[in-house]
Amino acid sequence: MTNFITGLNTSRPTHMPRHVGIIMDGNGRWAAARGLARIAGHKKGSEVFGNIVRHAKAKGIPFLTVYAFSTENWSRPPDEVKGIMSLLESYLRDSHKYRKENIKTIILGDKTPLSPKLRDMIAEVEQGSSQNTGITVNIALNYGGRSEIVHAARKAAQKLLDGELSGVAQIDEDFLAGCMYTAGQPDPDLVIRTGGEKRISNFLLWQSAYTEFVFTDTFWPDFTPACFDAALTDFAGRKRRKGGVMAVDSDASGQLTIDSGQLTVNVSAMRTDLK
């Protein structure tokens, strides 16, 4: 069933993504529509962030990545940037609550332009939550997908110069994936963008090669667990071929065979045989 208000499928999902990314867009427009300063939208958005983290954890999703502040966001008004950084500090100060809830926090991005105080807080939170297993929450801060790829390429080049690699042939997709900020994590199965825009805005470019996208007009401060569930249900209805072809054949005996290119399923025999 499709909800024509949200444009999303609202049937009960049959399977869950392992990794969900969210581009949290629309805070400023939400505030402007109410005659409020932009920072009011960011404050409301930070509350929604906490609610969605806990909801995703309750749904059993192992990884959640949110786009909090891009490398391009430094061009915003200084007061707005200061306010966003202040909200991040508040989150980090309150992170003990998340630790008690078995939530692991990782900050993705270039931390060098951040204040020494903020960098120290980040290090403390990452170390303090490193053994938590309930859900891993990646906060993309001073992050850009292109800059991440450059960072990974430089890391690979340095390993080559240091003699850790025998030659450039060792630098393949798996090696570069291990040089990304998200090394060791699965690529996102689903990315949700709120706020009505339909672009990825330099978010997880390397990791999103086969990601499914859901775009919603709902501003981030109005995004609820029900909206999240609707996106999950929409995802559950997608056919994820990853470049392959799904073929369905029925022979004279009435046996139905589904061939995805990697797995053949004989439905009548209820038997699965790997090719």
Please pick, among 3, 73, 110, 229, the residue that the annotation labels catalytic.
73
Helix (H) or strand (E) holding 228: helix 225-236
- Among 43, 193, 69, 60, CA closest to 136: 60
Computed from CA positions of residues 213, 217, 219, 225, in that sequence, does the dihedral angle turn out positive or negative? Answer: negative
Please pick, among 25, 187, 189, 234, the residue that the annotation labels catalytic.
25
Do residues 143 and 113 make contact, with C-beta atoms less than 8 angstroms apart?
A: no
- 65 Cβ partners below 8 Å, 6+ apart? 19, 20, 21, 22, 108, 137, 138, 139, 140, 182, 188, 204
**Side-chain half-sphere CA neighbours of 149 within 13 A:** 10
Per the annotation, the verdict on 73 as an active-site residue is: yes
Active centre residues (catalytic): 25, 73
